[in-house]
C-alpha cells in the first residue's frame, strides 16, 4: 500500500475515534426523560437516580457546550437556567437559558474566574425542588476557577504554567490545583447543599477515568491531601518557583488551619451521582474497529501510555517496525504523555511523540498518527501530526535537523515544513490522545 493510502486510512481511524466520543450522543445514552421525570443511568444501563422538578445545568470543559445542549434538549422546559464555561473557539448551538462563559486553557484567566462565579451562583441558588446537572469534560480544571481565600488568579496562573513546563502529569497538577481552589476537589458538590440532587455527567480525558482526577473532581471526594499537594510541588518545582501565597496556603492546610477538600462520607455526597459517560478507550476501540474494517490486523496496545512523549513515540514506532510483514498491521493506543518544554520550543506532546516516531521510522514503510481528540496540541494550531518513513528525509532536505528539533522540543516548525501536521480545529470533545500506527504488507 502507498504511503498516501496509509495516511488516508490513519486519518479515517482518527475520524472514527472522534465520532465515538461525540458528547451529545454520550449524554443521550445516560439521561432520559419520561413525562416530567428525568432518569440517570450508569454506563451499564443500571438506573441510578430519578428526579421530578426543575433542573439547572452547569459545568465546564471543551465538550461542555455540546453536553449542556444535549441535557437542555432532554430536559426540555424543565431546564430553568444555568451557566457553563468553555474555551475560546468552541462553536455549536447555544442551549436555551444556559449562560455561556469563556475562559482560557491550559492556564486560566480572568474570564475563567468570572464564569466560574456564575456557575457557583447558579448552583448555590438551587433550592430543595431543583436538581443540579453538571457537565464536565477535559479542560475543566483550567476553566473552572475559584481561587481559595488568600490566593489570587495570578498565583494560580504562575503555578499552573510552571507545573506544565516542568512536565507534571495530570494527577500531580490536579492534586495541587484542588488544594488551591473553592470549586475543585468536591467544592461544587458542597456548593449544592440546598439542591434536591446533583448529577454529574463526565467525559473523561484522563487515563483510568478516575472522576477524582477529571476536571479536578469538583463533584466527588478527593483522596489527596494538602501534604500530597506540597509533595507534588516539591517533586516538580524548586521552592523559589512556587508563589509565596501558595506556600503559605498549603502549609496552613497541612496544619489544619484551612479546611480539607471533600472527603468520603461527607453529607454532600449523599445526594450526588457522578457518571463517566465516555473516555479514551471508546475512541481507541473505534479507531481499531475502523482499521480492522479497512483490512488491517488491528491490535490495541496495553496499557494506555503515560510519561515522556518522545519515549512513547519511539516505542510505538519500534513495535510497528518489528511486527510481522506478511499482512497489513494496525497498532492503536491511547493515553496522555508529557513534555518537559525547553525554552523556545514550539509544539505539543502529540507532535513531539510523532517526531520521535518519525526518527525511528526513517526509511521504513508505515505511518504514525498522534493527535489530541480535542483538536489542540499544546499552544499550536495543530491537533498533532501524521508522519511516515520519509518525514526525516523531507526535514533534512529543508535544512532542519530532526534530532536537534526533538531535543529542543521544537517539533511544530519541522512538521509544518514537512507537511505532516494534522489540523482539525477544536473538535468539541476531549478524551486525551490517540495514536494510530499503520503498515501495509511488505
Answer whether residue 67 shows pLDDT above 90: yes
Q: Is the pLDDT of residue 35 over 90?
A: no
For the segment 352-357, the average pLDDT, to the nearest whole number, is 98
CATH number belonging to the domain at 23-146+181-224+261-278, selected among 2.60.40.10, 3.40.50.1000, 3.90.79.10, 3.40.50.10180? 3.40.50.10180
pLDDT of residue 72: 93
287-296 residue pLDDT tens: 999 999 999 9
DSSP track, 239-278: GGGS-HHHHHHHHHHHHTSSPPPP-TT-GGGGGEEEEEEE
pLDDT at 271: 92
Q: Are 158 and 240 in contact (CB under 8 A)?
A: no
Provide the pLDDT confidence category of residue 272 given band limits of 50, 70 and 90.
Answer: very high
Q: What number of CA atoms fall less than 13 Å from residue 319's CA on the CB side? A: 20
**Contact present, 243 and 159 (Cβ < 8 Å):** yes
CATH topology of domain 3-14+281-439: glycerate kinase, domain 1 (3.40.1480)
Calpha distance 336→320 (Å, rounded): 20
Calculate the dihedral angle through the C-alpha atoms of 113, 116, 121, 124, rounding to the nearest 10 degrees. -120
Alpha carbons 13 and 385: distance in angstroms, whole number: 14
Cα 307 from chain centre? 16
Note the pLDDT of residue 341: 86
Q: What is the pLDDT of residue 170?
A: 80
Q: What distance in Å separates the CA atoms of residue 332 and residue 20, rounded to the nearest whole number?
A: 15
Tens of pLDDT, residues 135-181: 999 889 889 999 999 999 999 999 989 998 888 888 888 899 999 99
**Edge-to-edge strand ranges of the sheet holding 55-60:** 99-103, 79-87, 55-60, 131-136, 197-203, 272-278
Q: What angle do the packed helices 411-418 and 349-361 form, to 10 degrees? A: 60
Cell of 178: 484542588
Three-state SS at 222: coil
What pLDDT, in 10s, does the model give residues 375-422? 999 899 999 999 999 999 999 999 999 999 999 999 999 999 999 999
pLDDT, tens digit, 9 for 90 and up, residues 296-344: 999 999 999 999 999 999 999 999 999 988 999 999 999 999 998 898 9
Instruction: Give the sheet arrangement for strand 367-372, strand by strand.
Output: 297-300, 329-335, 433-439, 367-372, 384-388, 421-422
Sign of CA dihedral 52, 56, 61, 64: positive
Strand order in the sheet with 37-41: 31-34, 37-41, 47-52
Kindly state the average pLDDT of the residues 259-286.
96
Q: What percent of the chain has pLDDT over 90?
A: 88
pLDDT at 43: 87
For residue 89, pLDDT over 90 is answered with no
In 3D, which of 363, 358, 364, 339 has the Cα closest to residue 415?
Answer: 358
Mean pLDDT of the chain: 95
Output the pLDDT for position 1: 79
Mean pLDDT of 13-21: 98
Average pLDDT over residues 331-358: 95
Q: Domain-by-domain residue ranges, the chain?
A: 3-14+281-439, 23-146+181-224+261-278
- Angle, helix 309-322 to helix 349-361, in steps of 10 degrees: 40
Provide the pLDDT for residue 222. Answer: 97
When pLDDT is averaged across residues 63-90 and rounded to a whole number, the result is 93
23-146+181-224+261-278 and 3-14+281-439 share a CATH fold: no
Grid cell of 11 as nine digits: 486519518
Q: What is the pLDDT of residue 374?
A: 93
State how far the Cα of 92 lies from the Cα of 11, in Å rounded to an integer. 23
Which spans in 21-145 are helix H? 23-28, 64-75, 110-124, 140-143
Residue 316 host element (H or E): helix 309-322
Condensed to tens digits (0 to 9), the pLDDT of residues 197-243 reads 999 999 999 889 999 999 999 999 999 999 999 999 999 999 999 99
The pLDDT-based confidence of 195 (bands split at 50, 70, 90) is very high
91 has a pLDDT exceeding 90:
no
Phi-psi region of 380 (alpha: psi -120 to 50; beta: other; left: phi over 0): beta
All cell numbers assigned to 247 = 506556600
What pLDDT band is residue 10 in, cutting at 50, 70 and 90? Answer: very high
- The C-alpha cell that represents 201 in the structure block: 455527567
pLDDT of 88 above 90? no
Amino acid at each position: 500500500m502507498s504511503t498516501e493510502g496509509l495516511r488516508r486510512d490513519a486519518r479515517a481511524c482518527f475520524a472514527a475515534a472522534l465520532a465515538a466520543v461525540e458528547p451529545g450522543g454520550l449524554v443521550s445514552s445516560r439521561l432520559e426523560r419520561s413525562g416530567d421525570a428525568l432518569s440517570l443511568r450508569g454506563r451499564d444501563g443500571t438506573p441510578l437516580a430519578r428526579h421530578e422538578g426543575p433542573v439547572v445545568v452547569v459545568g465546564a470543559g471543551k465538550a461542555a457546550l455540546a453536553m449542556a445542549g444535549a441535557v437542555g434538549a432532554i430536559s426540555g422546559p424543565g431546564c430553568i437556567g444555568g451557566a457553563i464555561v468553555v474555551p475560546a473557539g468552541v462553536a455549536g448551538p447555544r442551549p436555551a437559558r444556559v449562560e455561556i462563559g469563556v475562559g482560557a486553557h491550559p492556564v486560566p484567566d480572568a474570564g475563567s474566574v468570572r464564569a466560574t462565579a456564575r456557575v457557583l451562583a447558579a448552583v448555590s441558588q438551587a433550592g430543595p425542588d431543583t436538581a443540579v446537572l453538571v457537565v464536565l469534560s477535559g479542560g475543566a480544571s483550567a476553566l473552572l476557577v475559584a481561587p481559595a481565600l488568600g490566593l489570587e488568579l495570578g498565583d494560580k496562573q504562575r503555578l499552573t504554567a510552571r507545573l506544565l513546563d516542568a512536565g507534571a502529569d495530570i494527577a500531580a497538577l490536579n492534586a495541587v490545583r484542588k488544594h488551591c481552589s473553592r470549586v475543585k476537589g468536591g467544592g461544587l458538590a458542597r456548593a449544592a447543599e440546598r439542591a434536591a440532587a446533583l448529577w454529574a455527567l463526565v467525559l473523561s480525558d484522563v487515563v483510568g477515568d478516575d472522576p477524582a482526577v477529571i476536571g479536578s473532581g469538583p463533584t466527588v471526594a478527593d483522596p489527596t491531601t494538602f501534604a500530597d499537594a506540597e509533595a507534588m510541588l516539591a517533586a516538580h518545582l524548586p521552592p523559589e518557583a512556587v508563589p509565596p501565597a501558595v506556600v503559605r496556603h498549603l502549609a496552613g492546610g497541612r496544619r489544619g488551619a484551612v479546611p480539607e477538600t471533600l472527603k468520603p462520607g461527607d453529607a454532600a455526597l449523599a445526594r450526588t451521582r457522578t457518571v463517566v459517560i465516555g473516555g479514551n478507550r471508546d475512541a481507541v476501540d473505534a479507531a481499531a474497529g475502523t482499521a480492522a474494517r479497512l483490512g488491517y490486523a488491528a491490535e490495541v496496545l496495553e496499557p494506555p501510555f503515560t510519561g515522556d512523549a518522545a519515549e512513547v513515540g519511539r516505542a510505538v514506532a519500534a513495535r510497528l517496525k518489528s511486527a510481522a510483514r506478511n499482512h497489513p498491521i494496525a497498532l492503536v493506543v491511547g493515553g496522555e504523555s508529557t513534555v518537559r518544554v525547553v525554552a523556545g520550543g514550539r509544539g505539543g506532546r502529540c507532535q513531539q511523540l510523532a517526531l520521535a516516531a518519525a526518527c525511528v521510522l526513517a526509511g521504513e514503510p508505515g505511518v504514525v498518527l498522534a493527535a489530541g481528540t480535542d483538536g489542540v496540541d499544546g499552544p499550536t494550531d495543530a491537533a498533532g501530526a501524521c508522519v511516515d518513513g520519509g518525514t526525516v528525509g523531507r526535514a533534512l532536505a529543508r535544512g532542519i535537523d530532526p534530532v536537534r528539533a526533538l531535543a529542543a522540543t521544537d517539533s511544530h516548525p519541522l512538521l509544518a515544513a514537512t507537511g505532516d501536521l494534522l489540523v482539525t480545529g477544536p473538535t468539541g470533545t476531549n478524551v486525551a490522545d490517540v495514536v494510530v500506527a499503520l503498515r501495509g504488507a511488505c
